[in-house]
Every structure is written in structure tokens, then in C-alpha cells.
Amino acid sequence: MQLTLHTDYALRVLIYLAMHPGQRVTITDLSSFFKISRNHLVKVVHELGLKGFVHSVRGKNGGLSLSKPADQIRVGEVVRAMEVHFHIVECFNPQKQGVCPIQPQCSLTALLGRANEQFLRELDEAFLSDVLLRG
Amino acid sequence: MQLTLHTDYALRVLIYLAMHPGQRVTITDLSSFFKISRNHLVKVVHELGLKGFVHSVRGKNGGLSLSKPADQIRVGEVVRAMEVHFHIVECFNPQKQGVCPIQPQCSLTALLGRANEQFLRELDEAFLSDVLLRG
């Protein structure tokens, strides 16, 4: 079981920004620090902007910063927003309805849905600032 | 976020066996019922046998059955046994240690580990028999 690399990278970007409050961070900074391809980071950062997690200033001296203080961004909120789907097993997918013939007699989806909710609830308890260890 | 198809299929096989207590079910039965390739099912069933969830009788009139009654097999136990790994993000992977440079200042792994434990704990609450809806 794992989150997508897209969500993983989104969390890393936000944690980096939380570690550098008041600074404008560029994609070049992020790409060279994390050794992650610019192309992938451009997509991640674009979506983080659309979802309201980062604020971007264009031009010379431009860059990214968190749109809210790190102690106001819940990790669960980021994962819920960035993860493409939570189709824990195939029958969660609306396009796969009816594919599995035991579905009418099976309540696994409800059970896995509750388990997923417990997973996210734990992440809702923590703010970005909580995952930074003071060195 | 999702479980592997291997775990998904393992759960389907066990639920099918739970729906047919006292019967010997063959891979051919499972393959034609679920429309899942025999090859994939052979691997799934082999691992279910190794992990002690199914009992297999060879020969004519042979087949598979649950090794314990369905009300004694916890869903969480199956998922823990069948899922290849729980590397929720990259830094869970022992082979990727040190790849992410923020790791020393970041406690995301601990948080995601607790969240994953909550997910599995919810599944531990349910037995295979609990996911069967009586029609």
C-alpha cells in the first residue's frame, strides 16, 4: 500500500517550504535539493497552487511560499487534495462497477472505506509544522 | 492510495470460499467466476496456502477450502500477510534511505506509520464472515 509519487513529492515540497519560512523558493532550488526532475516538480507545484497550498510570485526574485503558515495546513488536507483516488480495491472505482461478481453479497468496500477514513483522520490530526523536527 | 491487485484477488478468493463452506473449489471455478487469469490466481492461491489461509486437496474431487472457519480469519490478518509492502511514501523503503535530504528533519514517516496502523486496526476488527451480506 502506498501513496502516489505525486502526493509524496507534494508533501516534500510543502515541508521544504515550511522549513524556509519567509523565503521565495524556486523550482530550480527544489529540483537541485531533492534531485527530482523539474518536469515532475512543475506539475506538482502547479497543482499545489491550484489547490491553494502555495503562493507563487513571478519574475526575478520570484518563487514559491506557503499560502498559509505551516501550523495551519493539515497533512490530511494535503493528502486528500493531492491523491488522485482512494480506490483501495478495484470495486471502489465507479468505472469497474459490476466487474466483480461477488459485489452484491460483499461489504468489503464499506470496511475498507472505514479503514481509509481512519488513515486520513490520523493525518488530519497533524499540521505541516508538526512533522518538522527541530535539529 | 490502493492495495495491490494481488491482495485484492486474495480477498476475493477467500470471500468466495467463505461463501461456499464445505465445498472444494478449483482454480478453474475461481477463474471462470471472477474472469481473472488462471496464472494470476495460481500465484495468489499458492501464497494463500503458504500463509495458512487455504487448504488444498489434490487429485480428482480435489480443490481449495478455507483452512479455518470464516469467522476466525481477520481481514486485517489477510491484508498484512498478502500486501507486499507498506511503503506509504518512498522513505519507508529501506533501500531508499538517505535519498530524501529532508529525512533527518522530518517525522512524516512516523505520522504515516501511525495512520497505516489505524487503517490495519480497523481491518483487524472484521472477520471474513463479517463482509458476507446475507442475500
Distance from CA of A41 to the nearest CA of B (A): 14
Residue pLDDT, tens place only, A4-33: 999 999 999 999 999 999 899 999 999 999
User: Which segments of B51-132 does DSSP mark as H helices, in order?
Assistant: 75-82, 108-124
Residue pLDDT, tens place only, B103-112: 888 999 999 9
**Residue type (1 letter), B119:** F
| ipTM exceeds 0.90 | yes
Q: Model-level pTM greater than 0.90? A: yes
Distance from CA of B61 to the nearest CA of A (A): 24
**CB atoms A132 and B100 under 8 Å:** no
Which residues on chain B are in Cβ contact (under 8 Å) with A12? 100, 102
Highest mean pLDDT among A93-97, B55-59, B86-90, B113-117: B113-117
Number of domains in chain B: 1
**CB atoms B2 and A75 under 8 Å:** no
**CB atoms A2 and B86 under 8 Å:** yes
Domain that holds residue B84: 5-131
Residue pLDDT, tens place only, B20-37: 998 999 999 999 999 999
CATH code (residue A9): 1.10.10.10
**CB atoms B135 and A105 under 8 Å:** yes
Count the neighbouring beta carbons within 10 Å of the beta carbon of residue B40: 14
Which residues on chain B are in Cβ contact (under 8 Å) with A33? 101
Which residues on chain B are in Cβ contact (under 8 Å) with A5? 90
**Cβ contact B66:B52 at 8 Å:** no
